[in-house]
Amino acid sequence: MKAMANDCSRAVRRSVSFIIPFFNEAACLPRLIDEIEEFIRQAESKWVLAFDIILVDDGSKDGGSDILRAYAKANPEILKLRILRLSRNFGKEVALTAGLSVADCDAVVLMDADLEHPIEIVDQFLDGWINEGCDVVYAYQRKEQRVGWLKRLLSRAYYKLINTMAEVSIPPNAGDFRLLSRRAYTVLRELGERQRLMKGLYSWIGFRQKGVAFTPRRRPFGKSKFSFLKLWLLAIDGITSFSTLPLRLAVWAGLLLAFLAGSYGVWVIIEIYFYGIDVPGFATLIVAIAGIGAAQLIFLGIIGEYVGKILLEVKHRPLFVVESDELLDDNLRTSADGIKVKGKIL
């Protein structure tokens, strides 16, 4: 019975697209394509599937798209390769969305271009999708010794905080390296929000999901584009995109400050009239004003985050602009240059 089920699954689920966004990763791209091509040769002997690659150039300045074109020209036997070039750098979350917007297959595999994601893990993705019926199979990092203790501590604290506050649970240490079935990525790309934290959206769509542990490889070229500041801003986006708890905390903190201020006022009256203690007022007044002022600024900042998100949403600007869309394979080499906004040619 299981063999019959697998045969049916293979008959229905035929095509898989790799979606890989990149920004200034020219040195990694030839090796990346080689690794994927070698994996596909092995996978095609095990799975009855057809593969292709969609690479999203997120406004690179190092000629990554030119390197891919030259590579495809020098290797005409390679599988179908599609290059989607955005008009500028829109960020990884949007670049992933752009890749998903052009996908038309039974499943997609999302991965980075920096060679940190081991390609062999994709075989476990396929097994979870075909044999176990999972719509989302994601990879999560094992304990990483190369990461400093402070970063590990902050990462644990962040996931604990966001999973306490958010309506959905986000698996710790799970990034964009994953497989999505057609119905999963179709729902994902139909979400209209412009402030996109993909980690949260993967969990929000639901469906049956499975995690696969992996150890990231060292980057052979360059360094990560995510600085501490960018990670911090991404963390704030995650919290404010999936929870209104910070706004509620602002209310509770205001009530707490009001209670403490009232209690202190009562205590001052008791000290003056019952104990004859004349409380010096200058230092107390300055500390109280500074504390309340700081709390007000923090809460205004929290409110500002939400108001800013509302402003970006109501503008209804497109998520991305496509500068060119090229399909390169051994049978077809076309280039559709132009401008596309949300998939519509202008």
**Domain boundaries along the sequence of the chain:** 2-225+317-345, 245-315
Cα–Cα distance for residue pair 131/68, rounded to 1 Å: 34
What pLDDT, on the 0 to 100 scale, is given for residue 287? 64
What pLDDT, on the 0 to 100 scale, is given for residue 119? 92
Contact 199/170 with Cβ under 8 angstroms? yes
Cα–Cα distance for residue pair 24/114, rounded to 1 Å: 10
What pLDDT, on the 0 to 100 scale, is given for residue 340? 47
Contact 93/87 with Cβ under 8 angstroms? no
Give the Cα-Cα-Cα angle 261, 266, 271 (nearest 5 degrees).
125
Place of tokens 């009239």: 273
Tell me whether strands 107-110 and 136-141 are parallel, antiparallel or unpaired.
Answer: unpaired
What pLDDT, on the 0 to 100 scale, is given for residue 223? 66
329: Cα separation from own chain's centroid? 29
What pLDDT, on the 0 to 100 scale, is given for residue 72? 79
Cα–Cα distance for residue pair 96/106, rounded to 1 Å: 17
Cα–Cα distance for residue pair 329/332, rounded to 1 Å: 5
Cβ neighbours, 10 Å, residue 318: 14
Q: Which two tokens stand for residue 86?
A: 């955005």
Cα–Cα distance for residue pair 65/21, rounded to 1 Å: 11
Tell me whether strands 50-57 and 81-86 are parallel, antiparallel or unpaired.
Answer: parallel
What pLDDT, on the 0 to 100 scale, is given for residue 171? 77
End-to-end CA distance of the chain: 52
What pLDDT, on the 0 to 100 scale, is given for residue 274? 73
Cβ neighbours, 10 Å, residue 242: 21
Q: Which two tokens stand for residue 61?
A: 């300045």
What pLDDT, on the 0 to 100 scale, is given for residue 284? 67
- Identify any residues that bridge with 82 across adjacent strands, giving them in sequence order: 54, 327
What pLDDT, on the 0 to 100 scale, is given for residue 279? 60
What pLDDT, on the 0 to 100 scale, is given for residue 18? 94
Contact 82/54 with Cβ under 8 angstroms? yes
CATH of 2-225+317-345, one of 3.90.550.10, 3.40.50.720, 3.40.50.300, 3.20.20.80: 3.90.550.10
Report the chain (346 residues): mean pLDDT per 10 consecutive residues.
42 77 88 89 85 90 86 74 88 88 91 90 92 90 64 65 66 85 89 76 86 82 60 63 66 71 71 68 65 73 72 72 75 42 40
Strands (E), the chain: 15-22, 50-57, 81-86, 107-110, 136-141, 174-181, 209-214, 321-328, 333-341, 344-345
What pLDDT, on the 0 to 100 scale, is given for residue 182? 92
Q: Which two tokens stand for residue 305?
A: 């985050």
What pLDDT, on the 0 to 100 scale, is given for residue 92? 85
The SS3 assignment for 197 reads coil
Q: 269 vs 60, 124, 273, 281, CA distance in Å? A: 67, 70, 6, 13
